[in-house]
Structure formats: C-alpha cells, structure tokens
Amino acid sequence: MVTGALTIGAGVAALVPRWALRCVFGVDHIDPLTILVARHWALLLTLIGGLLVYAAYHPEVRVPVMIAATIEKLAVGALIFASPFRKKPLAALVAIADPIMALLYLAIFAGL
C-alpha cells in the first residue's frame, strides 16, 4: 500500500512535466518529444502505483502486480544508475528507493 502510494506520486510529472524533469533530472532544455515521453512515463508509473494499491486489497492479483512492479522498479534503478543522471540528488533517490521497494517485493515472494 505504502509503496503503491509513493509510486502514484510520479503522476505529478504527467501534470507538470517541465517542473518534474527539472527537479528530478536537472534538465533545462525540454523539447515537445521529451514532454510527451515524460508524461507517458509518469502515467505508466502512476498506473503501476495504482495497481499496487489495488493489489493490497485484492490478493488474487497481488503476485502478477508485484512481479510487474518489481521489474519496473529494478529497471528504473538500473537505468538511472547507468546514466549521468545518477549524480542528480532526486534521481539518485529514485534509483535507490525503487530497487529497495523491489527487494521488499522479492522478500514477500520468498515468504509466500
């Protein structure tokens, strides 16, 4: 539930992509394609967060939702760490927090 709510927070980037890209990645020159991709990315993250919240109350979908969220969170962490954006404080926070969330999901899987 908590990690889902945190993930839903990415939806802010869909509403104010220029601000989000500046704050998280330190990007100053933002073209229309970057805004489109940022909005789409934010929407997908928000949907993953919404599914995590839903799965908290619906055990029948919990495993597939957590598998998808684990893959997403490990991938975004790896992508940020492999990029120059890892030096940006908020991007680094995401790159650390998301894999930790994924590890929590894996710990839950191990306990199933």
pLDDT at 112: 66
| pTM to 2 decimal places | 0.89
pLDDT at 3: 95
Q: Which residue, chain included where needed, has tokens 């945190």?
A: 6
Q: Which residue, chain included where needed, has tokens 């869909």?
A: 14
Measured CA to CA, the distance from residue 70 to residue 54 in angstroms comes to 16
pLDDT at 28: 87
Measured CA to CA, the distance from residue 71 to residue 68 in angstroms comes to 5
Buried b (16+ CB within 10 A) or exposed e, 52-72: bbebeeeeeebeebbebbbeb
Q: Among 16, 59, 49, which Cα is nearest to 35's? A: 16
pLDDT digits (tens, 9 = 90+) for 9-25: 999 999 999 999 999 99
Phi, psi (5° rounding) for residue 75? Answer: -65, -45
Average pLDDT of the chain, as a whole number: 95
Q: Among 40, 78, 56, which Cα is nearest to 6's? A: 56
pLDDT at 12: 94
pLDDT digits (tens, 9 = 90+) for 24-70: 999 988 999 999 999 999 999 999 999 999 999 999 999 999 999 99
pLDDT at 110: 86
